[in-house]
Structure 1
Amino acid sequence: MPEPDGSTYVQSLARGLAVIRSFTAETPRQSLSEVARATGMTRASARRFLLTLETEGYVRTDGRDFALTPRVLELGFSYLSAQSLPELAQPHLETLSRATGESSSASVLDGLDIVYVARVPTRRIMSVGITIGTRFPAFATSMGRVLLASASAADRDTYFASFTPTPFTARTVTAEDALRAELDRVAEQGWSLVDGELEHGLRALAAPVRRGGSVVAAINVSMPSTDEDAVAQAHRLLPDVLAAASAISDDLSRTPAN
């Protein structure tokens, strides 16, 4: 993330956004003290931001705890409504899920994370629910590796200078040299398989989505681990995944970029 320019950076806006981001699936309701602690603000500052957000309709309170209101969805939907990807991807993800019998998703890269922008679930296979807007660290996901594999060498260097290699399972690859080698392999073969690295018992197979020759998103199918060899399973599902990615790419190529 670039350093803020003091001549253009509006700190109060950044701090207000930090208050909004402090509410997560694990902390949907927070006291004033908890918000202050999560954002690194004083209680007085956090209170001013919370009351401003309440006045604008983005936060509600019962007098003790605070929570976001559905109005915050407008912020995300403003982005989604300006993009053609989610709408174009959805029917192809539905076709992919029917063909494979597995959940399918589309995501984009945002900093160190992938962000889900479309999804067709067939079953609950993770300990956390995945919805539009869910974020995961890119390095440990199949879609993230597809997106990082398409990045320039300079962008990859920037990524590795910033990321924290947190192991999610005993199988998570965290060594930078091993991850770089894996990204090279993904770039060469055009797809990524991740087996049990984000969560034990979860496999995912991803492929890139392109617009005008540039990778702009990734799609995947995710499934529980079975007795079937992971690589064999990947090669069995790969034609359907690649076909869906190609179909979305074709639709995007016929749609003007925003």
Structure 2
Amino acid sequence: MQSNPFEDSADYVQSLARGLQVLRAFDRQLANPSLSQVAERTGLSRAVTRRLLLTFQHLGYVGSHGRSFYLTPRVLELGYSYLSSLDLTELAQQSMALLSERVGESCSMAVLDGSDVVYVLRVPVRRVMSVALGVGARLPAFATSLGRAMLSGLSDAELAGWLRGQKFRHLTPFTLRTATALKAEVRRVREQGYAVASRELEVGLFSIAVPIRAGDGRIVAALNVGMPYSDDAPARAVKLILPALQDAQRSIEHTIQRGGWQPHMAMQGVYE
């Protein structure tokens, strides 16, 4: 094979190139590769592949489950600018923009990463939280409607494992702070198909969320609408906002099923 002159120059960083090779080894057909499979696909030695995978794991871009590895949602930080230019992401943003316009409230899409939800898309209308939220922002999953919507996709055993690793915090007087209470809430989400969080993250906030599923039925993200809390917010959310939220849910899922955005392994590994 003819060598590339730049690759022979002092400006070429071989370790960086090899690291990118390892990240590119993950795809829909090889979402949970073993070390040997990554080495075989990249053509790198097992020793080099192991060091690179462990480095990415240390940095939070790769997770492991037994002998398998998977990408975490943190890799979205590397490619969000590119994702923003894709037609699929534009379609998701359009669905969310229509949703936000229809209900007059902010809406967000997030994925689950360990104990947190990570925002990947957001259409703000007004600021309803003391913390400014944007792409890459993280919030504790146990106290959010987004987190509960995604946790509803875990099996009972997976949910029990996830709960064992949680440190519940007293964020407001209304926060669900025990594994038993959250488990009951997740069961309710499974039955009704949507999740709510009322004054649990901040006293002045109410939110309602639905899961986003891939073509195989796996929950890969969640979509929510957040609004200021009022006495009639829960009833308004279910009666007026939920139908609009479900329309956006169906639109985004249809786009995903046509072969678009799919954060690999967004749910896997969060309960180890």
Structure 2 length-normalised TM: 0.66
Query: Secondary structure at the residue paired with 2:224?
Result: strand
Instruction: Name the Cα RMSD after superposition.
Output: 2.8
* Matching residue of 2:224: 220
Q: How many residues are matched?
A: 199
Alpha-carbon distance change, 12 to 149 in structure 1, aligned in 2, over 3 angstroms = closer
Q: Could you list the per-position Cα deviations for residues 219-247 of structure 1 after superposition, in whole angstroms to 9, with x for gaps in the alignment?
A: 00000012425234332211000110111
Query: Secondary structure at the residue paired with 2:147?
Result: helix
Assess if the C-alpha contact under 8 Å between 1:168 and 1:198 holds in 2. yes
The CA deviation at 1:80 is: 6.7
- Is 1:244 matched with 2:245? no
The percent identity for this pair of structures is 39
The CA deviation at 1:153 is: 2.1
* Matching residue of 1:143: 146
The CA deviation at 1:81 is: 3.8
Q: 2:214 aligns with which of 208, 211, 216?
A: 211
Assess if the C-alpha contact under 8 Å between 2:105 and 2:125 holds in 1. yes
* Matching residue of 2:188: 185
- After superposing the two structures, state which structure 1 stretch, 147-156 or 104-113, moved more: 147-156
* Matching residue of 2:99: 96
| Distance in 2 between residues matched to 1:99 and 1:185, nearest whole Å | 27
Structure 1 unaligned regions, length at least 5? 19-72
* Matching residue of 1:253: 257
Assess if the C-alpha contact under 8 Å between 1:80 and 1:86 holds in 2. no
Given residue 216 of structure 1, which amino acid in structure 2 is its aligned partner? V
Q: 2:160 aligns with which of 157, 160, 165?
A: 157
Given residue 168 of structure 1, which amino acid in structure 2 is its aligned partner? L
Alpha-carbon distance change, 252 to 175 in structure 1, aligned in 2, over 3 angstroms = same
| Distance in 1 between residues matched to 2:140 and 2:98, nearest whole Å | 27
* Matching residue of 2:77: 76
* Aligned positions of 1:10-89 closer than 5 A: 13=55, 17=59, 76-78=77-79, 81=82, 86-89=89-92
Assess if the C-alpha contact under 8 Å between 2:108 and 2:121 holds in 1. yes
Structure ranking higher on relative contact order (CA contacts 8 Å, 6+ apart) = 2
* Matching residue of 1:133: 136
Q: Could you list the per-position Cα deviations for residues 123-165 of structure 1 after superposition, in whole angstroms to 9, with x for gaps in the alignment?
A: 1111110000000111100010000011122321221111100
Assess if the C-alpha contact under 8 Å between 1:92 and 1:247 holds in 2. yes
Alpha-carbon distance change, 14 to 229 in structure 1, aligned in 2, over 3 angstroms = closer
| Distance in 2 between residues matched to 1:146 and 1:192, nearest whole Å | 5
Alpha-carbon distance change, 74 to 164 in structure 1, aligned in 2, over 3 angstroms = closer
| Distance in 2 between residues matched to 1:155 and 1:223, nearest whole Å | 31
| Distance in 2 between residues matched to 1:244 and 1:191, nearest whole Å | 13
- After superposing the two structures, state which structure 1 stretch, 88-97 or 231-240, moved more: 231-240
Q: Could you list the per-position Cα deviations for residues 161-188 of structure 1 after superposition, in whole angstroms to 9, with x for gaps in the alignment?
A: 1110012100000111111010000011
Q: Could you list the per-position Cα deviations for residues 65-88 of structure 1 after superposition, in whole angstroms to 9, with x for gaps in the alignment?
A: xxxxxxxx9971426746977444
Structure 1 length-normalised TM: 0.69
Assess if the C-alpha contact under 8 Å between 1:86 and 1:117 holds in 2. no
Given residue 166 of structure 1, which amino acid in structure 2 is its aligned partner? R
The CA deviation at 1:11 is: 10
| Distance in 1 between residues matched to 2:76 and 2:119, nearest whole Å | 15
Q: 1:123 aligns with which of 105, 109, 126?
A: 126
| Distance in 1 between residues matched to 2:248 and 2:76, nearest whole Å | 29
